[in-house]
Amino acid sequence: MHVISQLARLSPVLASCMLLSAMVHGAPAGGPIPAGVILVKGAWPSATGSPLPLPEDGSIANNAYDSAYFGLAYPISRDWTQRYEGPPPSDSGYYVLAQIEPSNPSGTSRGRVLIAAQDMFFTLAPASNALELVNYYKDHLGDGYRVEGSPTTLSIANHDFVRLDYLSSAAGLHWHVLATEIRCHVVQFVFTGHSAEAMERLIQNINAVTLPDETRYPVCVKNYATAENLIERDDPVFTELRFNPVPVRIVIDREGKVKHVHFLSAFPEQARSISDALSRWRFKPYQSNGEPVEVETGLMFGRLPRPNISTPH
């Protein structure tokens, strides 16, 4: 099936998401260029196939950050807001989901919250779970940071979390990282502020967070798209020579067909070629308790983001 015909089946939102990746959008043809808009995009997220929620599609409304993809609802104070939206996901699977702070700039003493996610299919860190990832963070803290609380596990809203606390001595900034695993991502709440007491109050608020029942979602499996699980495979035919990593998340249905493709970072023509190829891939259906179930996995096209090299501490 070609991308064009796939697009015809998509919701208007997803269709525009795909077309939007064709470089430009949002400006009225023939008028002055509006200020403060990004019309020319490089590698950018997009999606094709069944219209499913995406990690980057969360929003702040009604005093909460909500993410349909992560099944996450994080309540925020009425007088807190998101001043600026985050960047698009990186080609190593790092997302800025929300940046929340007091709406009154004089309230910076109350700290800030960054909600981020690392797709564990594509992380640059040698980590496979939240504890390993947070330990990697701790081990790579720069000079001047002092660990106030080594990574420890705890339970919040019936989910396992890992907590790391550290202090930047000169700046007097306290950092508290609370990380949990959702759909093969490590979702991180990063609290930053100068007041330890204010930070602790913020952290306590996280007990009101709503987290997902992951049985509602496709099983996520790293490296499922290997030869032993692939029945048919057509490699994409790229129309331009590029060297960027193209991380892709796919959802495979019970029949082994690719029902949803999410490009974390791809140029438009790369997304078209890969979507076209993936529409012809066939997998062995993933089995759970003897029954075929949907499975979500990751594929990296293009250039691998990192060879096997050691990282400086």
Partner 1 sequence: MKKPIEIASVLLFSAALALPGTALSQTDPGVRPGAINGQAGATQSDPLPLPSVGSNSPTGVLEFFDNGLGRFQEQEVVSGGANNGLGPRFNFNSCSGCHAQPAVGGSGSANNPQFQVISQGIASGSTNTLPSFITAHGPTREARFPFFTNANGTPNTNAPNGGVEDLFTVSGRSDAGACNLQQPNFQQAQQNNNIIFRIPTPTFGSGLIENIDDSTLLANQAAQAGNNLGIGGAFNRNGNDGTIARFGWKAQNKSLLLFAGEAYNVEMGITNELFGQERPLPEEEQHAGLPASCLNLSGHGYPEDATNFTVASNSDQAAQNAQVPADIVLFAEFMRLLAPPVQSTSTPGGAQSISNGFALFKEIGCSTCHTPAIRSTQPSNITASLGNSTARAFSDFEIHHMGTKLADNVSQGGAGGDQFRSAPLWGLGQRIFFLHDGRTTNLLVAIEDHSSNGSEATQVEENFDSLSSGQRQDILNFLRSL
Contact call for residue 33 and partner 1 (CB under 8 A): yes
* Of residues 173 and 230, the one with the C-beta less far from partner 1: 173
Could you say which of 15, 64, 190, 293 contacts partner 1 (CB under 8 A)?
A: 190
Distance CA(83)–CA(104), nearest Å, equals 10
- Of residues 197-236, which lie at the interface with partner 1 (CB under 8 A)? none
* Of residues 95 and 281, the one with the C-beta less far from partner 1: 95
Shortest distance in whole angstroms from residue 137 CB to partner 1: 3
Inter-residue contact 166 to 152 (CB < 8 Å)? no
Label residues 188-217 b or e (16+ Cβ within 10 Å = b).
Answer: bbbbbbeeeebbeebbeebeebebbeeeeb
Distance CA(22)–CA(40), nearest Å, equals 9
- Of residues 167-186, which lie at the interface with partner 1 (CB under 8 A)? 168-171, 173, 175, 177
Contact call for residue 303 and partner 1 (CB under 8 A): yes
- Of residues 71-130, which lie at the interface with partner 1 (CB under 8 A)? 83-92, 94, 96, 99, 101, 105, 108, 112, 114, 116, 123-125
Distance CA(313)–CA(14), nearest Å, equals 41
* Of residues 280 and 303, the one with the C-beta less far from partner 1: 303
* Of residues 2 and 306, the one with the C-beta less far from partner 1: 306
* Of residues 12 and 105, the one with the C-beta less far from partner 1: 105
Contact call for residue 243 and partner 1 (CB under 8 A): yes
Contact call for residue 8 and partner 1 (CB under 8 A): no
Contact call for residue 140 and partner 1 (CB under 8 A): yes
* Of residues 237 and 241, the one with the C-beta less far from partner 1: 241
Shortest distance in whole angstroms from residue 261 CB to partner 1: 21
Distance CA(47)–CA(58), nearest Å, equals 15
Distance CA(156)–CA(225), nearest Å, equals 33
Shortest distance in whole angstroms from residue 228 CB to partner 1: 29
Could you say which of 49, 55, 193, 268 contacts partner 1 (CB under 8 A)?
A: 193
* Of residues 51 and 86, the one with the C-beta less far from partner 1: 86
Shortest distance in whole angstroms from residue 292 CB to partner 1: 35
For the chain, the straight-line distance linking the first and the last C-alpha, in angstroms and rounded, comes to 48
Could you say which of 145, 156, 160, 205 contacts partner 1 (CB under 8 A)?
A: 145
Size of the site for partner 1 (CB under 8 A): 74
Contact call for residue 261 and partner 1 (CB under 8 A): no
